A and B are shown apart, each in its own frame.
Chain A
Amino acid sequence: MSVGEEKAKNRRGLSGWLNPYHYNLERWAYVFQRVTGLGILAYVVGHLGDTSFFVGGPTGTGPSSSTWAFMSNLVENSFGHLILVLVVLILVFHGTNGIRLIVSELGLVLGKPGAIEYPYKAKSLGAVQKAAIGLAIALALVAMVWTYLILFGGTI
């Protein structure tokens, strides 16, 4: 098999990236970090658009209460609030898991290197890593519920 054929055989592209078969927790966290990142970027770009209506939209010249009221009517409803709840969920997960990744990049929670032995469990995925991923999920869920209570409960 030539180098090119070998390369083509191993290159699974997006389907390989998203295929969850044989994934461990760390690999799931890797995929969610990227998926949530893309979701947040899409929201931020949209948010730039909606906040620009505070100054009259793309052709505005200064703060305008009428264009802001127009945009508020468009996004301040149950569907818009549901989107915000989901944004907070993925935002808090992305932020907390991102801090874990930075700490790991500094080599602080990876554990000591050791010989590769059966059953070939990832040395880097120790108790601290698992706890950090669990914390990211827990904080994201708490933030999501809190946001839901603020937007739909109206009492907090």
Chain B
Amino acid sequence: MRESRLMLIQYTTAVLAVALVAVHLLMQGIITPYSTAISFSTILSIYRSWFYAIFLEALLVVVLVHGFNGLRIILHEWKQTAPWSRWTDIGTLVAIVATVAYGTRTVILAIFGGVSG
């Protein structure tokens, strides 16, 4: 993918991340008291609401794409050789896929998994 397109993705995810993280922070202590926000029953009800589940999945994807692409940009600034650029690009893609998959697994299990004590 062209570097200009990757930078556009970086800026788009940045703007989206500011909005999504702001809402996430508001939900963790301002809209809902912190002790309530981290309780098992509250988190379960959040995951099992389609709106918030989609919100959390969007937050996951946006933040991880922005974060790992940002790391890739720093690594490209640090060293400029063709093999380094190629391997950091591949590493970034692997890191994004692996972390998004792990986070998505949490969301899916929280929605569809059986509740245990």
Contact = CB atoms under 8 A, between A and B. Distances in A.
A64 B43 CA distance: 11
Contacts of B18: 95, 98-99
A64 B70 CA distance: 34
A3 B47 CA distance: 58
Interface residues of A, number: 38
Interface residues of B, number: 40
B78 A17 contact: yes
Given A48-B103, A62-B115, A38 B74 contact: yes
B113 A63 contact: yes
Given A62-B113, A102-B15, 17 more contacts: A13-B79, A14-B78, A38-B71, A44-B64, A45-B99, A48-B99, A52-B102, A55-B113, A61-B109, A63-B109, A64-B116, A65-B115, A65-B117, A66-B117, A68-B43, A88-B25, A91-B25
Interface of B: 11, 14-15, 17-18, 21-22, 25, 29-30, 34, 38, 40, 43-44, 47, 60, 63-64, 67-68, 70-71, 74, 77-79, 99, 102-103, 105-106, 109-110, 112-117
Interface of A: 13-14, 17, 34, 37-38, 40-41, 44-45, 48, 51-52, 54-56, 60-66, 68-69, 72, 76, 88, 91, 95, 98-99, 102, 105, 147, 150-151, 156
